[in-house]
Chains A and B, each alone.
Chain A
């Protein structure tokens, strides 16, 4: 009669290499993560700081006013939002910037949108992440399109296919050949503007 092996011993015999390797690789990854994660966090902070300075050049210092707050954007659409206060060298408020994202043509689009201290005008936007088609949708990062938002009223905007792109108002002229990406940016603005204003009023950030 054949001797029956204890299942626990069989399990260890068969899988010891896998268990030991998983343990060693786990330790290796934990060590590397501990060493490099502060650098990753600094990179993220720098990216946000650079975006705020690019949008509000008078910024000497930025502070997190609202961090990762969930907001309801639509019936089934929720998002987490961070709002930053931009202060000049005399600690005077020069504007606010908030993170916003939505679907683009190829991938999601993450924006940093800036508004003036009274939330009356947009001060522009910076693309934090996008994967739009090079030469077409990627033009959302270029001055022709971006500059139309600088000074535009902080309310719902409309997209036009033709018109005067130099005129700053609530009408934004689309990028030719990249209507989907142009629409995506304007949709992000329109989706967030009222909700963010309400949230900021609620939190006492706006008078």
Chain B
């Protein structure tokens, strides 16, 4: 059984990372992508929380796929997703309170993240448990990696740090008084703002399209 599923499973896993990457190819989940990628820590927390919800909802939806009534399926998906989002939210409040405060309403808003409902509808409600789990892992990884990549670029450009650790020495405040050349990295705070999110995402999407065109 697992053997016959293996090529499809690998294809499904890899699709989530590149060909059907939720952010770079399907352009899903744009709200958290733009809102919580000002630093890597927030991006990673959001990515992992979404992946947890995606995995759990795919498992539940796949298990009940034969019992779903067509007119009630969206309601069932929402109920399932809302349950696991509440668990993720409670977990963060209990064990990562500072991050929970920082992400604020964006964790509860995972309920309306279209990646999760899209995978429930397109994959989990039509496939067995194994493929649904692989799909969730692939999509979750694709989403998390993309968010972290955006977070890293924005955090470095805005503050010269990654994961809160300074990697580029920031220019001293009154360097121009010495009359010499800049003595360090000049932080571009705009990258910590929404405008930075749009610019970074736009440039990455352009780059991905360019690569896809060249390799097509």
* Residue from the list B76, B94, B158 in contact with A18, Cβ < 8 A: B76
B153 at interface, CB cutoff 8 A: no
* 0 or 1 for each of B57-73: is its CB under 8 Å from A? (1 = yes): 00000001001110010
| Given A29-B87, A40-B93, CB of A135 within 8 Å of CB of B69 | no
B residues in contact with A135, CB < 8 Å:
158-159, 187, 189, 192
* Residue from the list B68, B90, B104 in contact with A32, Cβ < 8 A: B90
A interface, by DSSP: helix, strand, loop or mixed? helix
Could you count the A-B residue pairs with CB atoms below 8 Å apart for me: how many are there? Answer: 62
A residues in contact with B83, CB < 8 Å:
25, 28-29
A residues in contact with B67, CB < 8 Å:
17
B residues in contact with A32, CB < 8 Å:
87, 90
Asked if A36 and B90 make an inter-chain contact with CB atoms under 8 angstroms apart, the answer reads: yes
A43 at interface, CB cutoff 8 A: yes
Binds B, one of A74-82, A126-134, A149-157, A182-190: A126-134
Within residues 82 to 96 of chain B, which ones have a CB less than 8 A from any CB in chain A?
A: 83, 86-87, 90-91, 93-95
Distance of A25 Cα from B94 Cα, bound (Å): 20
* 0 or 1 for each of A1-38: is its CB under 8 Å from B? (1 = yes): 00000000000001101100110010011001100110
A107 at interface, CB cutoff 8 A: yes
* Residue from the list A18, A47, A129 in contact with B79, Cβ < 8 A: A18
Asked if B64 and A22 make an inter-chain contact with CB atoms under 8 angstroms apart, the answer reads: no
Q: Across the interface, name the chain A residue whose C-beta is closest to B90.
A: A36
Distance of A204 Cα from B80 Cα, bound (Å): 52
Distance of A28 Cα from B86 Cα, bound (Å): 11
Asked if A29 and B86 make an inter-chain contact with CB atoms under 8 angstroms apart, the answer reads: yes
B206 at interface, CB cutoff 8 A: no
A167 at interface, CB cutoff 8 A: no
B residues in contact with A33, CB < 8 Å:
90
B53 at interface, CB cutoff 8 A: no
Distance of A47 Cα from B97 Cα, bound (Å): 9
* Residue from the list A14, A29, A40 in contact with B94, Cβ < 8 A: A40
Asked if B38 and A14 make an inter-chain contact with CB atoms under 8 angstroms apart, the answer reads: no
Asked if B68 and A17 make an inter-chain contact with CB atoms under 8 angstroms apart, the answer reads: yes
Asked if B64 and A17 make an inter-chain contact with CB atoms under 8 angstroms apart, the answer reads: yes
How many residues of A sit at the interface, in one of the four size bands?
Answer: 20 to 34
B residues in contact with A195, CB < 8 Å:
none
Asked if B72 and A14 make an inter-chain contact with CB atoms under 8 angstroms apart, the answer reads: yes
Asked if B76 and A25 make an inter-chain contact with CB atoms under 8 angstroms apart, the answer reads: no
Asked if A43 and B94 make an inter-chain contact with CB atoms under 8 angstroms apart, the answer reads: yes
* 0 or 1 for each of A112-140: is its CB under 8 Å from B? (1 = yes): 00000000000000000101011110000
- Most A CB contacts (10 A, CB to CB) among B76, B94, B101, B193 go to B94
| Given A43-B93, A43-B94, CB of A15 within 8 Å of CB of B79 | no
B residues in contact with A18, CB < 8 Å:
72, 75-76, 79
* 0 or 1 for each of A43-55: is its CB under 8 Å from B? (1 = yes): 1000100000000
- Tell me how far the C-beta of A147 lies from the nearest C-beta in chain B, rounded to whole angstroms: 18
Within residues 126 to 179 of chain A, which ones have a CB less than 8 A from any CB in chain B?
A: 129, 131, 133-136
Q: What would be 21 A-B contacts, judged by CB atoms less than 8 Å apart?
A: A14-B69, A15-B72, A17-B64, A17-B68, A18-B76, A21-B76, A25-B80, A25-B83, A29-B86, A36-B90, A36-B91, A36-B93, A36-B94, A40-B93, A43-B94, A43-B97, A129-B101, A134-B158, A134-B192, A135-B192, A136-B189
Q: In the complex, given contacts A14-B72, A18-B76, what are 11 additional A-B residue pairs having Cβ atoms less than 8 angstroms apart? A: A17-B68, A17-B72, A18-B79, A21-B76, A25-B83, A28-B87, A107-B104, A129-B101, A134-B158, A134-B189, A134-B192
Across chains A and B, which 7 residue pairs bring their CB atoms closest together, nearest first? A135-B189, A134-B192, A25-B83, A36-B94, A39-B94, A43-B97, A40-B93
